[in-house]
Structure formats: structure tokens, C-alpha cells
Structure 1
């Protein structure tokens, strides 16, 4: 095995950056060229068909089959002209991955001639096997039928299949034969409709010209990059997505020299390559940089409508993995692939915009707009306060469990950061009945360097330790895991805000019905909401132990366990909210709960099996062989009369023996715990046993293995080490 490690290192160290050639000198020349965009549709469809499609997208209205036939014909002509041979409904089942089944445009006519065929029926609907995807008990194994349906609000695109051809990918929803949602997209679209209705109704109190509200999202994607050969030399990375063992290198992130540092050449070439491909697919990738940990990086897009942003993020992750292969690299999206250094998140920057071009979460000093801004701000705070545990449930996963609260990511406690200016504004609203936002004069830093332009200071600092932070004109939910599909979180966030805005409208209409003046009634409601919700506001260090203690005194939840967090989905108030907002019915929520629990169980089970295999068949066996070498050396020294010189070696032998004994006993105990858990039929209880009994052995086994890594000769150690994995050049 050690030879395999050094062979992998030799291969990795011999690689050079691949030269990437831009498709054109100007991004505008190739941006969206592989996307069936609105502009492409306009040029290929009749004016009537184009108008009906765009109206359906804007109003959530139906598209009749006649129009679908025309769209399908245009799509096929466009795709074939660009080299496409197949088409697929591209959807997002509850596996956490995207899915696709390719069908050829090619067909045989009645007279035996070759033809290209793609009708509106094929565009609108396809039939994958619903029982073969996670369904949480909604489908029996013998009940196979399910349907994918075209989502016209997300443009179709062409994906290079890597074999010289292209496939037309049609973003789609995925439902069971009985109509329940089996994907991330369907509930998301329903939540967007709910928020649009509720927010538009509230906007009408301030501006009658506002007829639509669209949530926007910018998901910043963190990830690690390792060499492909080194990746395959680590069975735990291959099978579990993270390293179950590995001693921290002497140099990690403690010098703070990687963050925003010079991007390694091979990684930079990879970034440039997938950015070019992203631009072709109409994905507006704008930012790239090194993250805090060595080997960690980030990519950030321009803000888009939430549904499109989530489709683009899922597509981007697929694309990054494919492009990485060309560069002999592997992308790691696991939330905590390496112990002791920063993990990876997916920071979800969320806001709401109107059809009149107004960002409803953008602060303003204009008297007519201040009350509208505060209305939406306070209602978001109230929504998060009242549903903090449900929001916490959306980020619960086996991977994120390693990351949350690990002095690098927001804790499992949901809190909101507003900054000094907005906090004071709300305090004044509560105590003084003042509704103004003081922007003040611009404040510039005086650097004493004439050649440096004046630098403007924002009116408040950012707080990277807050899970839900206001960052100028949006909220940033930092706690979402890197590998997650953001649709789960955005579905709940949209839903709870829609629910809260609906309650606000009811409270306001009740007061107006009593004859109260509108502005005064709004202020009184906002004061009540703020007073009831302000305990969730926190401006300090969310990583500190002091905050954990303070949050407890405030009565805020700190749900550390994934199974416990997922249980919030099944609480009566959660089920009622989803039903009330028309997002999911009881069966759909329960199925997701079962799916997430099973996913957690299987993930921990795989990690446990990988850990047991590596511990006993790689680490312990290597340690015993090394111990044998040392024993021979000690024996020879004693035979030569050098007893004193043999004592330090005997100490090492005793140390190895003690650690091997602990590893063996703990591994056997872990396997027994796994067997006991597997015999439990109740999924909830089995998940808890995996979380506590099985996973409870992980740290002890890891500690002893990592200590052996420091003892065993480097030439004999079988696993690629952190220092070799993390510093890709």
C-alpha cells in the first residue's frame, strides 16, 4: 500500500497546469451560447407562442400542448444545429445529485428512413422509475411509474457528453404516479408562488404598481481541490467523501497565508476552464479566490431568481466535477473533508425584488420607503424567530454535523445579525416610535497616503460568525452545507416568510377594519413583532462559548444532532405551515423526513465501514509490521549488551501496542453498535443509535490512528498524508 501512496505522489508532483484557451476574446460573444434563452426563443418561435410561454413563466399559468409542440420543434432545431444527438429531462431527485435519462432525437419512420423526432409530448413529460429514487415510502418497489415535467421558467441547455456529442437538458420537476413531489424543485416552485402572493399583497399597501415579487439568490460555493491520483490513494475520500483519519500537518491554515492568496497554477487553470463552460451555459460566475484552508477555494455567481440560481448551482457542481477530471483533479464538496481545518459551506445570499425594480431589503432614507423596508425586514426577523428550528432542520446532514459550530462556521444556534445601524433603528422604533434610518455623512478612512483614493467605510461591519446575517441589502444564510441542494433551505425560508407576511396582512387588515390609520397601525404591529422576536438578534461572536451559554438563557435552541434536527419536520406546526402555504402535504413532508434519516444512517454506516477497514487492514497491520522491525532492532541491541539503548525503542513498542489494543477494541465495539442499530426497525431510533452509539466511537479510533501516523516510519505509512493532499500546486 505504501508503494501505491508514493506512486500517487510521484504522479501528482509531475503534473503541470493545462493551458486553457478562451472561446473568444469577449465574454459577450459566448455567454449563453449553449442555453435556450429567451432571446433564442424569440428568434425561433412565432410571436404568439413566445408571448404565451413568457406569460406562463411570469404568471405561473398553463402552457397548452399546441404551444409545447412549437417550442419542442424550435428546441430540437436549435439543439441539433449545435451538435446535440440526445435530449433528457434534467431533474433533482432527493438523492442530492442531479439525474438524467438520455433519449435520441434519432428515430425510424414508417418507411424505414432515418429521421429526427421531438414532439411537445416528449418536451412536457417523461417517465423515470419512481421507485428507484428515494421516495420515503411513497412508492412500493413494484410501483415503478413516475413523471418528470418541463419547467419552462428555467432555460434548457446543452451539455457536452464528453464523447463528441451534446445532450439537450430540459430542467424538470419529478413527481410520483400519485402526484407527490419526489424532488427538490417542485416544493421550491410552490414556495416561490406562496412568497410572491404574500409579499405582493403586502407591497400593495405601499405601492399599487407592484404586481409581482421575486426572491433572488446568490449561492457562494466553497470546495476543496486535490490531485486525482492522491484522491484515489485515499479509500476514505473515494467512498465517504472525507478523510476519516489524518494527522494535522505542521503547517495548515494558522499563518493565514492561503486566504485570498495567489491561486495555484493547476487550480487556476481548472477555474478558468469551468468558468468558460459556465458562461456558455448562461451561468454568471463572477468571483474566484482561495478560501481560508489550504486546498480550499470559492466560486460565487451573480444574483438570480431563486429557482434559476439553484438550478445553476446544481449544474455548476456537476460541471466542476467533469472539468476537474480534465485537469487530473478532484473536487470535494463534503462539508468537512479534513479534520482540524476549515470546512466548506454554501452561503445563501437571499433577498426579494419587485417587478418595479425595488429590492425590498435595501435600506433607504426616503420617508415613503422606510416603512416598507422596515415592514419586510421585521417580518423576516419574525419568521426566522418563530421557525428557527425548522430552518435549522434544512441544514441538517451527516456532513454538516462535522462543520457546524467547529470554530469556522455558524453554530447550530440560529441567530440574526443586523449591525449597529439597523439594530438602533429597531430599538428606536420600539421605545421612541421613531421610524428613520440614519445614513449619516459618508465616513472615509484617512490613510495619510495621497496617492491612495479615499476609502469609504460601510455603516456597519459584517459578522461572519452569524448564521443569518444582514449584509447591506440581503440576508446571508451561511449555515447551508457545501454539498447541499439549497432548494430545501430556500423552500422553508420562502415558506416561513410567506406565512409571516400573510399573518401581517391579517393583523393589519384587522386594525384597519377598526378604523386605525394605516401608517400608525403598521408601526404598532412592527413594534409588537420586534419585541416578540428580538431575543434572536445577536451582534457578537457566534463561535464563542459565551454565546452558547447566553443563547440558552434566551431560550434559543441548540440542536446539535442531525436526527434531532430533522425531527422538527414532523412537528405539528411544521406540517401545518407546509399545508397552509400549499408547499407540501403531510405525506410529502414525512417522506422527506424518512429519506433524510435514511441518508444520514447510510452515510454514517459507510463512514463506519470505511473506518473499520482502514483501521484494521491498513493502519493496524502496518503498525504491527513496523513494531516487528523495532522489536528486531531492540533484540539486537540487547544481544550486543546495549540494554540502555534499547529502552527508548521498547517504550515505542509499548506505545504502539497500547494504541493498537484501543483501536481493535473500539473498532469491534463500533461494529457491534452498528449491528444493534441495524436490528432496530424504527428509522428514527436507528438514526439516533447511529448518531450516538456508532458515531460515538469515531473520535477515539481516529485519535489513536492519528497518533500512530506520527510514530510509524513515513516510508511505511499506507495513507496519503494531509501535507501531501492539501497543497496542490
Structure 2
């Protein structure tokens, strides 16, 4: 993510302490854990049923080796049976005996262990002779049935209609973890209504492909499909597990709802890309190792800006597949750190006054043959039409301008309310950065200059050092203050939250861009030139292009003048999903019905209010069970009086919130409770922490939570 932020601390010196075994025994150093990736290379990808791994099992069943490269095989029952038999043989060799249709339930972001769901079933049974035999059919592969009664549905089904049906997603490969074969699926009600995150995503991908192919065909470029490719940069924290057990708020709410700043934060910019802490490195090695076995193409690992903050990112891939793999990664981050004496924290803002965590959603459009529609020179060379590139970019710019409210809705989450616009993440003003070269190129295009190949210049940097050759770098610098910058061959939706399932984000991207493609193609049917239509789109949407500093004080004023979408409240952003404009969009593009939009908004309200309810109850418990007893021991009488009154205020506001009439009203009240009442009460708690000696303070401090380099392994005398 990048970007340092200073804070001042008035912490007394005696609170800056290392672990004292007589007070708080630190965790022992875990045994060395080192993975030789090269030695394990032959096993990587073997737990993913695709490509050459799947081919040998498919061929044994008399099927083409490349059968899974398209989804048509799911339509033939006999072929599906043969694929199921191939999966059985593969699973047996890999030691797997269970299957699960894993799906993405609504409202699962934040506190759920893993963001998928499913029931695991044995692949074998006992016959009448008592003999073990494997039973897994094509019908069981393609479809399943489950109880959908305890999942969020936003009113899409009645209490007594509990059926939920899983349907295979052929775009995302089957994989094995442990003894279980995971089959990525959609999840719908008895009426076929989507009660998951994936179904609208796949529908949006379909309409993007349909309208994209249609437009390119009219422009003289025939392609087999247009697909969205994404790469997700996952940020997270790794903290000492023993300290975590001394923080009820982290355990139940995923963030610290109180806690005084340590004497040191990130003001020296000394954490970003620093050498990896060896305990954290061992943990990340195992996370990557487990991912590699399942064929997850993780690429990078490094420290992030805040203490104990890290990032892991993959190669680009198909949106539906990459999202499934990201959910696997998030579950690995939940599970593997405990083996290393750590805890993985995925919340957007777990700690005050240091950077929070995001999940940058890098997005591009391509063809199955490997042509990137956002790579101007490549697209022009393959299509022979230099105007296609500016037409595609114009469609994206128009999508951001017209549907900025949906872009903002897609990143709305309880955690992101603390993060957006805090000089660590882009502001909540929806704009796009294109860089001066591309902006100038599009400006010429909209003014009538046609059939000009976009060829971005590069800058030569010569350091003047003997033996060091001059290097070529992009002419445009990065802009980390824009929520949706063009980064050369891709757009990067930087504002996504770290705990989010990004299916909705990519559903919005695919749907809004598909609508732009459709509009251009429709007007071509009426006799208009595509370039002229795209130029009109640019003229209408030009104000959404902003190449400046999104953190500046002047930008919000300028953005208001441009009438750009700015929604600071996550609750108000959620509400935009129910605007008539947006329900009409999803309906006409056959992505979501109006009642599905309404239901998702309701689920987001309930998720927000429920999250705040947990946080508020944690705060009450921590004040009564930890802060007041500690303050009493050192005779902080006036502070105890303040804290007692604060608990009464918090409980009263929580009661009032819980008794609001609608989900929207509850969420609105919850936001006020969280960002006003609880913030004020936190100040009292943090002030008390400064006055209580460490020996009497019963909660883990930021010093103990955030500085793994100094704390972890202290008992064993390790310096990490």
C-alpha cells in the first residue's frame, strides 16, 4: 500500500517495556520452519484439477484432455459422470475421501472463519456385502442441495422455505485441501434467486463477454470472448497469539476498540518492505506452500507500512477463479499463523493511528487468447484498428462517472469506514487517474483525432555510474491517492477493504462496463460511428478524470464543483444499491433482479449494525472487567466516575439502536454510536491506560501487539 503517517505519543517511559516473565510470560520461540520450494516443486499444482493434472484422468475416461477449457461439458449428463469418475481417481491418489460444494454466502465478510460455506460428504459408502466402494456421480458433481435457513437472505425467502441449491461453477477449478475435494459452486434458492456472492458475478461476466464481443465484432475484430482478469493484493497483520488472547476486542470484533499508541508507530517509514521478521517469514512460507499445492499462483510477499503488517499477492487470472483463490488465501491466513504462535488479522483497521489493510483489485479485460484490451499497442497490433483502445477506455471512464455511486457501494464495509480517505487509502470521492499521456491522447481522440496508435513513451534514467546501463521506466508515475487509477494495461481499484469478498466489486465493474459497451453497439446499429459515440462519452464524463493529489485539502472542494460522487458514510453507500437507476441497470443487464438488490442492501445494513453491536458490547465488558478495576487500584476516582457514566451512555445508545424500526435506521444509528460515542469513550480509556502501571494493566498494549520483532521469542533469548 505504501504511505507513512506520523503520530505523537505522550506515553510515560515506564509503559515502554519488554516482556517481563514475572508479569507476562512471552510465547516461546517456535521451532524453525523452513520450506524448500524447489524441493517441493513436483507437488505444486497437483491438488488442482485442471490442465495437465486433470488431462491424464480425463483421457482414461475417454474424454478430451482439454475438456475443462470450456464449460460445455456440464450440459451433457454422461460427460459429467465421466468427469466425476476422473475426479474420484485423482482424489484417491491424493488421499482425499470427502467432497464439499463450497459457496460464498452473503454477508460473510469480517468475522467469519473463511468466507465460504459447505457440507462435507464422504465419497465412499458400504455396499450390501459390507465392502467399501467409492460413489460420486456426475449429478453430485454438478448440483447439490443444502439447508439455506441460517444464511443471510435479506427477505428473499420465507422462514419456512429453507432449501438452498448448489450449482457447479465451471470457470473455477476443483481443488483438494487435506482429505477434501472442494467444488466451487453457486448457491440459489428454490426459486432460483441468488443468495450468494458468486451468481451475480458470473452473470455479470457473461453479459460483459456478450456485449464486449458484440462491440468488437462491429469494429471488425472477432474474438471468442471478453473476460475480466484480476489480481488481488491481500494485506493483513500478524500479531503474537499470546497478546491476542489478552484482547477481547480483537477476538470478537477483529479490531482494537481501545488502546493507547505505543511510543513508536510508523513515523520513520521503517517497516515498509523491510526484511521479513523470521517468525512471520516462516508463517508466510507455509501459507504460500499450502497455496502452491492447490495451484494458487501467489507471486509476492513483503512487509507493509504498519508494524506487523504484511502483503501477499498472486499473478493475474480470471475474476471468478481469482476470487475463489483469494478466499482460500484468507482462510490460510486465519488458520496457519496459529502454528507459529501468531494470529492473522484481516480487518481493515485493527489498530488506531497506523495504516489499515486493503485489497487492491487490479482489473483488466482480455480475450482467452491472451490479448489485453487495456494494452493499447498490443490491442492495436492484434485488431488492426487503433480506435478500439480509446473506445474501450472511454467505456470504462463513462462507467466510473455514471455509476460512481455503485463503485462506492461495492467497497462499503464496516472496516472501510475507518480507512477511506485517512491518508492511507484513497478518499471516498470516486474518480479515476489516467496519467497525463493517456489523458492527452484521449483528449485528442474526443476532439476528432482518429486512428492514432496509443504508444506510451518511456523515460530513460541514466545514473551516470560506470557499468550500470541506462534504464527505461514508465513516463507516468503511480498515483496511490486515486481510488481507480490506470496503471498501464490495467485499472487498480485501490479502495477495496482487506476483509471483503470482492465479488460485488467485480460484479459492478463488469456490469457497468458492459452497459457502456452495449450503448456504443446500440448506437452503431442506429448508424453512428463508434468513435463518435465514445467521444461523446468522454465529453460527458471528463470531470471524473483527476490526475492530481487525492489527499489534498483542495480536492474535495474541486470534486464537489465537478459534481462527482462522494459518500463518506458506508451506510449511505450501501443504500445506493436500491436506487432506481441501479436496480434498473442490474435488471436490464440480467445480473440481479430488483428484489435481489434490495435484499443485499438489507444484508449490508444488518452486517454493519451487527458488527457495531459486537464492538459496543466488547467495550462495555472491557471497561467493566479491565479498565475500571485497573483504575480503581491506583485511585483514579474521577476517571472511574467518567467510565461508569460512559458505560451507561453506551448501553443506552446500544439499546436505542437495537430498537430502531428498519435495518437502515439501525445501521445509521450504529454508525453514529461507533464513530462518535465510542470514539469519545475510547479517549477516556486510553487516558487511563497512560496512568496505570504495566503490572496492573490487564490488556495487551499496542507495544505488545505491534512489535513482533522485539517481543516474539523473548523467553528463548531470540533477537528477531
- Whether TM exceeds 0.5 here: the answer is yes
| Equivalent of 1:105 in 108, 123, 126 | 123
In structure 1, C-alpha distance between the alignment counterparts of 2:532 and 2:399, rounded to whole Å: 17
Q: Deviations over 1:340-368 (max 9, x none)?
A: 01010000000011134310001229584
> What is aligned with 2:623?
615
> What is aligned with 1:81?
93
Asked if the contact 2:377/2:454 (under 8 Å) is kept, the reply is no
- What does residue range 16-55 of structure 1 map to in structure 2 within 5 Å? 16=30, 18-22=32-36, 24-25=38-39, 27=41, 29-46=42-59, 50-51=63-64, 54=67
Shift of 1:557: 2.4
* Higher Rg: 1
Distance 1:684 1:441, change over 3 A: closer
> What is aligned with 1:684?
664
Question: TM-score if structure 2 supplies the norm length?
Answer: 0.91
Asked if the contact 1:18/1:327 (under 8 Å) is kept, the reply is no
Distance 1:59 1:500, change over 3 A: farther
> What is aligned with 2:145?
127
| Equivalent of 2:647 in 664, 667, 673 | 667
> What is aligned with 2:676?
696
Shift of 1:619: 0.7
In structure 2, C-alpha distance between the alignment counterparts of 1:683 and 1:254, rounded to whole Å: 40
Shift of 1:693: 4.0
- What does residue range 299-698 of structure 1 map to in structure 2 within 5 Å? 299-364=312-377, 368-431=384-447, 433=449, 436=452, 439=455, 442-512=458-528, 521-627=529-635, 656-693=636-673, 695-698=675-678
In structure 2, C-alpha distance between the alignment counterparts of 1:91 and 1:607, rounded to whole Å: 28
Asked if the contact 2:96/2:176 (under 8 Å) is kept, the reply is yes
Shift of 1:597: 0.9
In structure 1, C-alpha distance between the alignment counterparts of 2:573 and 2:150, rounded to whole Å: 27
Q: Deviations over 1:225-259 (max 9, x none)?
A: 11111111111000000001111111111100110
> What is aligned with 1:64?
76
- The number of aligned residues is 683
Local SS of the residue matching 1:468: coil
> What is aligned with 2:275?
262
Structure 1, gaps ≥5 residues long:
161-165, 513-520, 628-655
Of 656-665 and 292-301, deviating more is 656-665
Asked if the contact 1:130/1:144 (under 8 Å) is kept, the reply is yes
Structure 2, gaps ≥5 residues long:
1-14, 110-114, 710-720
In structure 1, C-alpha distance between the alignment counterparts of 2:278 and 2:696, rounded to whole Å: 31
In structure 2, C-alpha distance between the alignment counterparts of 1:9 and 1:370, rounded to whole Å: 70
> What is aligned with 2:12?
none
More helix by share: 1
In structure 1, C-alpha distance between the alignment counterparts of 2:120 and 2:192, rounded to whole Å: 23
- What does residue range 142-161 of structure 1 map to in structure 2 within 5 Å? 142-160=160-178
Tell me whether 1:141 sits opposite 2:154 in the alignment: no
In structure 2, C-alpha distance between the alignment counterparts of 1:23 and 1:468, rounded to whole Å: 35
- The one of the two structures with greater contact order (alpha-carbon pairs below 8 A, sep at least 6) is 2
Asked if the contact 2:376/2:455 (under 8 Å) is kept, the reply is no
> What is aligned with 1:287?
300
Asked if the contact 1:370/1:437 (under 8 Å) is kept, the reply is yes
Asked if the contact 2:205/2:227 (under 8 Å) is kept, the reply is yes
Distance 1:362 1:339, change over 3 A: same
Shift of 1:694: 5.3
Local SS of the residue matching 1:140: coil
Asked if the contact 2:228/2:365 (under 8 Å) is kept, the reply is yes
In structure 2, C-alpha distance between the alignment counterparts of 1:434 and 1:239, rounded to whole Å: 58
| Equivalent of 1:711 in 691, 694, 705 | 691
Local SS of the residue matching 1:417: coil
Distance 1:605 1:414, change over 3 A: same
Asked if the contact 1:568/1:574 (under 8 Å) is kept, the reply is yes
In structure 2, C-alpha distance between the alignment counterparts of 1:386 and 1:698, rounded to whole Å: 36
Shift of 1:209: 3.2
Local SS of the residue matching 2:200: helix
Q: Deviations over 1:156-196 (max 9, x none)?
A: 11112xxxxx1111111111112111111111111100100
Distance 1:100 1:303, change over 3 A: same
Tell me whether 1:183 sits opposite 2:190 in the alignment: no
> What is aligned with 1:631?
none
In structure 1, C-alpha distance between the alignment counterparts of 2:217 and 2:472, rounded to whole Å: 36
Q: Deviations over 1:191-223 (max 9, x none)?
A: 100100011111113344312111100011011
Local SS of the residue matching 2:526: helix
In structure 1, C-alpha distance between the alignment counterparts of 2:37 and 2:473, rounded to whole Å: 39
Asked if the contact 2:521/2:530 (under 8 Å) is kept, the reply is no
Asked if the contact 2:55/2:66 (under 8 Å) is kept, the reply is no
In structure 1, C-alpha distance between the alignment counterparts of 2:23 and 2:140, rounded to whole Å: 49
> What is aligned with 2:232?
219
In structure 1, C-alpha distance between the alignment counterparts of 2:548 and 2:482, rounded to whole Å: 8
In structure 2, C-alpha distance between the alignment counterparts of 1:435 and 1:704, rounded to whole Å: 64
In structure 2, C-alpha distance between the alignment counterparts of 1:277 and 1:36, rounded to whole Å: 16
> What is aligned with 2:6?
none
Shift of 1:64: 2.1
Local SS of the residue matching 1:299: strand
Of 473-482 and 522-531, deviating more is 522-531
Shift of 1:152: 2.2
Asked if the contact 1:470/1:476 (under 8 Å) is kept, the reply is yes
Asked if the contact 1:213/1:354 (under 8 Å) is kept, the reply is yes
In structure 2, C-alpha distance between the alignment counterparts of 1:187 and 1:50, rounded to whole Å: 31
Asked if the contact 2:35/2:285 (under 8 Å) is kept, the reply is no
In structure 2, C-alpha distance between the alignment counterparts of 1:254 and 1:115, rounded to whole Å: 63
Asked if the contact 2:258/2:685 (under 8 Å) is kept, the reply is yes
Shift of 1:369: 4.0
Shift of 1:121: 2.0
> What is aligned with 1:647?
none
In structure 2, C-alpha distance between the alignment counterparts of 1:297 and 1:44, rounded to whole Å: 39
In structure 2, C-alpha distance between the alignment counterparts of 1:224 and 1:155, rounded to whole Å: 29
Asked if the contact 1:9/1:230 (under 8 Å) is kept, the reply is no
In structure 1, C-alpha distance between the alignment counterparts of 2:679 and 2:236, rounded to whole Å: 24
